[in-house]
Amino acid sequence: MSRPTPRLVLVAGATRTAAIDGISAAGASPDLLWHTPAADAEILAYGRPVEAPAVPASPTGCPTPAVVTRGARDVLGFETTVVDAGIDPPTAAPTVDFDVAAGGDIRETTPVPGVEQVFERARDLGSGLPDAEVLIGETIPGGTTTAMGTLRALGEPARVSSSLPANPTGLKRNVVAQGLDASGISAGDLAGDPLGAIEAMGDPVLAAAAGIAAGALETGTGVTLAGGTQMLAVAAVLRHAGVTGPLPVATTTHVADDESADFREAAVALDVHPIVTDPGFAHIEGEGAAGLAGYADGEAKGGVGMGGALALAARAGVLDQVRGRAVDFCGRLLGDREAVPESGSEVSSGGS
């Protein structure tokens, strides 16, 4: 009963880790940060924010990768399913609600209580999906820090990327170190206990994404993890849960080439196949082009399933059209609705 194109499942949620100064939101409008998952979900579902107050954008006006994913959806017509794994405040987009609270700050002992219920609920959904192939993406501000925390707890050395041009790597390391202390563990202590690692150092989106992937794989649905270093954390969770099959991770050149991370090496270490697509935003033109050009300067980089959407576009030979559509979206969205910059904040969790 599946359509010819894969389904994109976007897992959206929040972690209070994002409130740490400099990790994610700082400056004039930190409150807007919390609306990013809701806004991303609405852009994917409706092409623009419906109830969320603004189009997520960086201080320089680089817009959320949701515009690229939505552009690809318009061109390719793939189906999308948004999972609410802790969106707060809520969204006007249709979601499969996992009835889970936003994750706590990882400097708490147990930032993700009930992680097993989230994973099992997600596994049920994944095993019920009718598709031959699904892509799984995420939107969660602060998500690269919780990804780093989870990787550390599992003893995986992978470094993580950032949506900021200058990755606040030192700060993230400190936060993760404090988180390990608060949970009374050392790096690697939770190897082989991936849900324990998420419970102590992760966020609910990681649990939901891993569960959906696990359920889908168990029932013969191919899974592509659509994202950057956060999706490597999901891959690590799956590997530590004993999942051994193929696990491609589709991201952008901006994530893969981020020298503060080591996407390609980490992919090899986790036995996942990297699919890297260049969005080609360096030389685009049009009203919305200026915003997207920020990607070429190291902003945003990916997220909201953008890497996967671009991989589908490249596979279908329609990358130019998708790029054009994304430029079009940016021009209209940043024109007809004020994009309030979140000073110093992430564009989206994807490259946080």
> Smallest distance from the beta carbon of 339 to its own copies, in angstroms?
15
> Smallest distance from the beta carbon of 81 to its own copies, in angstroms?
5
- Torsions phi, psi for 223 (to 5 deg): -120, 130
> Smallest distance from the beta carbon of 303 to its own copies, in angstroms?
20
Q: Are 124 and 115 in contact (CB under 8 A)?
A: no
H helices of 158-224, in order, are: 169-182, 194-201, 204-218
Q: Quick one: 186 or 219, whose CB is closer to its own copies?
A: 219
Q: Quick one: 124 or 181, whose CB is closer to its own copies?
A: 124
What spatial distance separates the first Cα and last Cα of the chain, rounded to whole Å? Answer: 36
> Smallest distance from the beta carbon of 46 to its own copies, in angstroms?
5
> Smallest distance from the beta carbon of 107 to its own copies, in angstroms?
31
Q: Quick one: 47 or 165, whose CB is closer to its own copies?
A: 47
> Smallest distance from the beta carbon of 80 to its own copies, in angstroms?
8
If phi over 0 gives left and psi between -120 and 50 gives alpha, with beta otherwise, what is residue 188?
A: left
Binding footprint of its own copies on the chain (CB under 8 A): 1-3, 45-48, 50-51, 74, 77, 81-83, 90, 92-97, 124-125, 128-130, 329, 332-333
Matching residue, tokens 């989870």 = 150
Q: Quick one: 126 or 351, whose CB is closer to its own copies?
A: 126
Q: 3-state class of 105 per DSSP?
A: coil
Contacts of 161 (CB under 8 A, 6+ apart): 144, 167, 228, 229, 255, 258, 260, 261, 263, 301, 302, 351
Q: 3-state class of 277 per DSSP?
A: strand
If phi over 0 gives left and psi between -120 and 50 gives alpha, with beta otherwise, what is residue 189?
A: alpha
Torsion of CA 189, 173, 250, 227, to 10 degrees: 100
Q: What angle do CA 171, 54, 325 make, to 5 degrees?
A: 100
Q: Quick one: 134 or 180, whose CB is closer to its own copies?
A: 134
Q: Quick one: 137 or 298, whose CB is closer to its own copies?
A: 137
> Smallest distance from the beta carbon of 117 to its own copies, in angstroms?
14
> Smallest distance from the beta carbon of 145 to its own copies, in angstroms?
28
Distance CA 22, CA 38 (A): 22
Q: Quick one: 48 or 152, whose CB is closer to its own copies?
A: 48
Contacts of 168 (CB under 8 A, 6+ apart): 22, 23, 162
Q: Quick one: 43 or 147, whose CB is closer to its own copies?
A: 43
> Smallest distance from the beta carbon of 289 to its own copies, in angstroms?
17
Q: Quick one: 272 or 326, whose CB is closer to its own copies?
A: 326
If phi over 0 gives left and psi between -120 and 50 gives alpha, with beta otherwise, what is residue 15?
A: beta
